[in-house]
Structure 1
Amino acid sequence: MELGIGMFGDVHIDPTTGKMQSAAQRTQEIIEEIKLMDEVGVDFFGMGEHHRIDYAVASPEIILAAAATVTNNIKLGSAVSVISSADPVKLFQDFSTVDLLSNGRAEIMAGRGSFIESFPLFGYDLKDYAELFEEKLALLLRLNKQETVTWSGKFRKPLIDQEIFPRPVRGSLPIWVAVGGTTSSVIRAGKLGLPVMFAIIGGAIDNFKPLFEVYRQAWEDNGHAMDNFQVGVHMHAFFGENGQEVATQYYPLYAAQMNRIGASRGWPPYQRSQYDFGRSIHGHLVVGDVNQSVEKILHVIETFGLTRFSAHTDVGSPNHKDMMKAIELYGTHIMPKVKKALKK
């Protein structure tokens, strides 16, 4: 069982003045936070990719390369790389470089992304949304398996006996697929024998049970060994010493970010009742003290038969001091209790 942390690089926005934290300050804080994760024994870190003013990180691999030089053990991956609008060759080379810098700790998590800014930015048409992902994922998997590649597709020029360098430390990289609630994405990953990270970022967790069952069935039906079966969830989370205090303090930041995102998607204003349900044993949030968080994480692991849990801790960008405290609690108290309980 792996327990990790994911971030999107949200910049802090002052709720009173609207002043936005600089991307320079936030990226420097992120490196300090990853360094602490490594020191307290967090298993993996995932960095998201966004191309918006309210997120500091457009290139996860750059952050991960910097983190590789100040860490020793933690796995370093994307969360996610928007492969539909990326060049798979360059993506593979970049993560291979992170792998070399970290002595074999790099991973790629490929996804379609829930934001669409990267498509016009890099010259892609949203009408090709599904086709782009399928073709580029296939090329990425080919690059990961073969040092010399011959390949042709619809959205880029062919590769003819093209050698791909550098290679990762072990010759290939772990590649995960991130999915939301799309059944076809889940089935595709199961057919390909790829580990999946489910984003459970709203509503009741039980609503995701059918998707987990579909994924497992696709995995088994395509002859993949259950010994290699890996599945995880990504959930919004934040931790403090006092459950009620951290819930109260975190709510305005979380609600403000949900409303910023929701404004562009036609969502109604975020309500405290949604937050309180999310924090319940049935909901999508892990926000509370050590014991509350351990109980919730164990419930999610047992509900879905997970091999990996990712706590997305920077939604709304809590201040750096609170982030560092949450990371410390997660690594030194929450993770050990969860792993001890799982061994019983």
Structure 2
Amino acid sequence: MRFLAITLIVHRPDPVTGQQKSTYERFREVVANAVLAEELGFDGFGVGERHERPFISSSPTVVLSHLAARTERIRLFTAVTTLALLDPVRAYEDYATLDHLSDGRLELIIGKGNGSAQRDLFQVTPEDQWDRNAESYEIFRKLWRQDRVTATPRFRPELVEAEVWPRPLQQPVRVWHGSATSKESVDLAARYGDPLFSANVTNPIEPYGELVDHYRERWTAYGHDPADIAIGAGTAGLFVAPTSQEAYAAYRPVFEGQLAFQASVGLEPVFPTLEDFVERSSALVGSPQQVVEKIHRYHERFGHQVVHVHADASGLSEQQHRDSLELFATEVAAPLRTALPDPPWGWGSPTNGANP
């Protein structure tokens, strides 16, 4: 099994102290967390893409380019690239450039994106967002594989023997499909034989499990070998401590701050108590053994080979955050690397055995 740390670069007051870092400080924190993730042996670091409050992750290619210069080994993910909002030609140019600057360490997780404000900003409607996502991906996929592309899309000008530069380093870059609530993204991933990344954050396990089941069914229906399936899954929170009592005590103020934020924006909590949150959500809060057992339980349902955890402190102190990540890396990730399988291509460049 492989492990990623990801950030959506949320920029709002600390849920415990109420203090808010400056934009400059928040970006410096993201860089420090990526460097720490590599130091601790994480396999990947992901940066989200959002174009609305309270996020400042509108330019993931810029952030990831900087992280490429500050790291050497860790693979760099988007989480997610909102292709429904983007011109696929421009997105291809940015990511092909980033692929070279990162020495071929780039992997994409694509999706339509969430939030009505960013849809309005890019004049995308709920009715056409899935069609835009699929069309943009199809063009993006061709650009990555072909020197000249001809296409007559609905949502951008046609391409006639178009040459787009630079050509990428990886042939091709690996693209995962982010899945939260809809079968459209799941079907798109299965159709092209691409890996799936389940959000697995907001709800209990079963809705996500049903989407994973649908992915497996469609994968086979499209004629792909089930042995080639790769699945990732997110987690709703992270705090690992030597004992469950210590973990609950440290994380309770964070959870209560999250509840207060949800109430302030009129959201009804899915998990009303910390105990319920730890029991029924994908949150990894507890002792190392408890967290290992929980990941095993989710693996039994999903059969996933990749897990992402939060890269941000999100209300924890800097020392609590670092201690938790260190304990996760040594006492959770280390045994699971051997106990649970890797993706079928192993890890690294898609030129080494991934489906084109």
Q: Find the aligned partners of 2:272 and 2:330 in 1 and give their Cα distance.
A: 30
Report the count of equivalent residues.
340
Report if the CA contact (8 A) 1:46-1:78 is conserved. yes
Q: TM-score, normalised by structure 1?
A: 0.90
Give the corresponding residue for 2:347. none
Asked if structure 2 preserves the Cα contact closer than 8 Å seen for 1:202 and 1:278, the reply is no
Amino acid at match of 1:322: Q
Q: In structure 2, what is the equivalent of residue 138 of structure 1?
A: 138
- How far does the alpha carbon of each residue in 1:124-183 deviate from its partner, in whole angstroms, 9 at most, with x for none? 344422222121122122222212211121111111111121222223210110011212
Partner of 1:68: 68
Gaps of 5+ in 2: 342-356
In 1, Cα distance between equivalents of 2:74 and 2:6: 12
Equivalent-residue separation in structure 1 for 2:249 and 2:237 (angstroms): 14
Contact 1:301 1:309 (8 Å CA) reproduced: no
- TM-score, L = length of structure 2: 0.87
Measured in 1, the distance between the counterparts of 2:269 and 2:295 equals: 28
**What is the deviation of 1:329?**
2.3
1:302 and 1:122, CA in 2 relative to 1: closer, same or farther beyond 3 A? same
Query: Counterpart amino acid of 1:292?
Result: Q
1:251 counterpart letter in structure 2: R
Q: Percentage identity across aligned positions?
A: 28
Structure 2 counterpart of 1:35, which letter?
A: V
Q: Distance in 2 between matches of 1:42 and 1:146?
A: 33
What do residues 58-103 of structure 1 show as CA deviations (whole Å, max 9, x unaligned)?
2122111111112121110111111111121222222222211121
Using the alignment, how far apart are the partners of 2:16 and 2:311 within structure 1? 22
1:164 matched residue in structure 2: 164
The separation in 2 between residues aligned to 1:13 and 1:227, in whole angstroms, is 45
Pairing 1:335–2:336 present: no
| Per-residue deviation, 1:255 | 4.4
Cα deviation for residue 108 of structure 1 reads 1.1
Contact 1:111/1:179 (8 A) holds in 2: yes
CA pair 173-15 structure 1, distance change in 2 beyond 3 A: closer
| 8 Å Cα contact 2:240-2:284 kept in structure 1 | no
After superposition, where does 1:1-344 map in structure 2 within 5 Å?
Answer: 1-11=1-11, 13-15=13-15, 18-242=18-242, 243-257=244-258, 260=261, 264=265, 266-269=266-269, 272-273=272-273, 275-280=274-279, 282-314=280-312, 316=314, 318-342=316-340
> CA contact under 8 A between 1:10 and 1:317: conserved in structure 2?
no
Deviations 1:251-291 (A, max 9, x none): 33344345545655x52256642x322312x4321122322
Q: Is the 8 A contact 1:259 1:270 kept in 2?
A: no
**1:207 Cα offset (Å):** 3.7
CA RMSD of superposed structures (Å):
2.4
Q: SS of 2:236's equivalent?
A: strand
